[in-house]
Chain A
Amino acid sequence: MSELASEPSGQRPRIGCRDLRVSARGRELLHVPALDVAAGDALAVLGPNGAGKSTLLRALANLGGLHRTGEVLLDGRRAGSRELRCAVAAVLQRPILRHGSVAANAAAGLRLRGTGRAEARRRSAPWLDALGVGHLAPRSARTLSGGEAQRVAIARALAVAPRVLLLDEPFAGLDATTRADLLADLHAVLDGLDTATLLVTHDRHEAVALAGRTALLVAGRIRQLGPTERVLDEPVDVDCARLVGFTNLLPPAVTGRAELCAARPEHCSIGGAGGVRIPGTVRRVVPLGGATRVDVDTAAGTLACRAPGAEGLAPGHRVTVSVAEAGLRTIPTSGPFAG
């Protein structure tokens, strides 16, 4: 649990929480002692399935009838459901659009807040353009593709000029190309806004693309919080290491070092020189388009390697896995190795 004392980001926090707890059927699902997101900043909450990411997002916005305790702060002041309702707009994993045209859907958030029909359409139209779906405005929302629908859902949320934007895995159901395009467009849109953005995701690439800071959430607790680059490159425990892609754990016995180390598959090669070398037997070879994934059974368990040149390798072959020195990270051994 390092770096958890809300890092100062230089600005006053727009939204935050203190001692936020959510429980269901007597079991605590989430406990966040403190978390802040400043205006104009984006925080990614990265975690595996079931870690409590969506619960955190919903608890902050008071959505979904959760049993929560603690405080949610808006601009440093304790916020009730009314204040939160006015300040927050949420985009969920599935773009839930209503019957009617794309233009009417983009205006729906403003309409729900009591804005007149014409005014709501006028104010929401530029956001459809900004998200690249302005030309679809007269179309029925039911005819949209998944990517287009999610763009409309994001435009709908941004149209209400939210002081806090909550994104609950909005790219999860999209194909890789659509997702990359939408991430780029959203990044450009958010860049010029004064909105505090909270992105919940299980994909570290989304965190890199959108968020200056990242929190790692495991089993309802924030394990690590800091600048995205650092959080993704310097995991503080075994769970965090796995979460950010350091999936190969190397115990002292195989590395000859004093502490547990971890490495990404892309930093492990077959038969390379230098660094740490671990002998093993090929378990399987999986072609992945550009590269090949080779799983090797070693004394450290099964290690996954991203090998560019794996021609001629087959299960049962004796090989040596080498891990470049620069790719090794030392993991403080607070958690169980085998976890």
Chain B
Amino acid sequence: MDVLLDGLRQALSLLFSGDAGTWAITLLTLRVSLGATVVAALVGVPIGAAIALGSFPGRRVLLAAANTGMGLPPVVVGLVVTVFLWRSGPLGGLGLLYTPTAMVVAQAVIATPVVVALVAAALQQVDPEFLVQMQGLGATRVRALWALGVEARLPLLAAAMAAFGAVVSEVGAAQMVGGNIAGQTRVLTTAAVLATSRGEFGLAIAFGLVLLLLAFAVNLVVTLAGRP
């Protein structure tokens, strides 16, 4: 119990003293995970919308794949991305391994199926005749799609939050493709793992608390932004 209380005390002092190292790790975590969420949204929203609104061969298979992908183990993603970016791998020439960019790529791979599956579910909740009705009132196709997005904005935001939650909390892929290099690719989760393994529980708890606060702050902002 003492270990926990000491750890908590140390964590709070670290946080409120404005420790430069902790702040750098926090900012990198935000950059990588928000970047990955944006990439996943750019890729996943059109695919999810196509699954929900379109009718093409393989639509159900794609949805099943996305649903399966929601449970994709980050370690497996980390492994595959590492193999691709390895010096002798297909994309080795880019020299991205152990960089924040590689971490964004790996986390985007984790987040994209989440976005696809939840966007498809969000848009399928809206009346299937919604687009026809909007166009029947004079909307162009683009305007009708925009209206659909506005109508489903809460579940769409939930999809973004779920994607962000999935990547900000994962450790396997970040560790494998980032390498947890201090000052370069160390994020809150990998830092917490390292601190714990060294017995620095105060530091680990501090990172854990920051992670929780971060997730809460991002979700609060998004939720408030999506108020009807």
Contacts and interface: CB of A to CB of B under 8 A. Distances in A.
A86 B138 contact: yes
Given A99-B151, A112-B143, A112-B147, A85 B135 contact: yes
A114 B140 CA distance: 11
Contacts of B140: 85
B129 A157 contact: no
Contacts of A100: 228
B194 interface: no
A86 B135 CA distance: 10
Interface in B103-162: 127, 129-130, 132-140, 143-144, 147, 150-151
A92 B136 contact: yes
A110 B218 CA distance: 35
A58 to B, nearest CB: 7
A72 interface: no
Interface string A72-108: 0000000000000110111110101011100000001
Contacts of A112: 134, 137-139, 143-144, 147
A220 interface: no
Contacts of A86: 138
Interface residues of B, number: 18
Contacts of A61: 136
A255 to B, nearest CB: 47
B137 A108 contact: yes
Given A99-B228, A112-B147, A94 B137 contact: no
Interface of B is mostly: helix
Interface string A149-186: 00000001100100000100000000000000000000
A312 interface: no
Contacts of A108: 137
B138 A96 contact: no
Given A94-B127, A96-B130, A89 B151 contact: no
B142 to A, nearest CB: 11
A92 B137 CA distance: 11
A102 B104 CA distance: 44
Contacts of A160: 137-138
A310 to B, nearest CB: 43
B135 A98 contact: no
Contacts of A113: 137-139
Contacts of B150: 98
Nearest to B154: A99
B132 A109 contact: no
Contacts of B147: 98, 112
Interface string A225-245: 000000000000000000000
B135 A92 contact: no
Contacts of A10: none
A63 interface: yes
A123 to B, nearest CB: 14
A82 B10 CA distance: 67
A109 B132 CA distance: 13
Given A63-B132, A112-B137, 12 more contacts: A64-B132, A64-B135, A85-B139, A89-B137, A89-B138, A91-B136, A94-B129, A96-B127, A100-B228, A108-B137, A109-B137, A109-B138
Interface of B: 127, 129-130, 132-140, 143-144, 147, 150-151, 228
The 7 closest A-B pairs by CB, nearest first: A90-B136, A109-B137, A112-B139, A96-B133, A113-B138, A64-B132, A96-B127
12 contacts: A58-B132, A61-B136, A63-B136, A64-B132, A64-B135, A92-B132, A96-B130, A108-B137, A109-B138, A112-B137, A160-B137, A166-B136
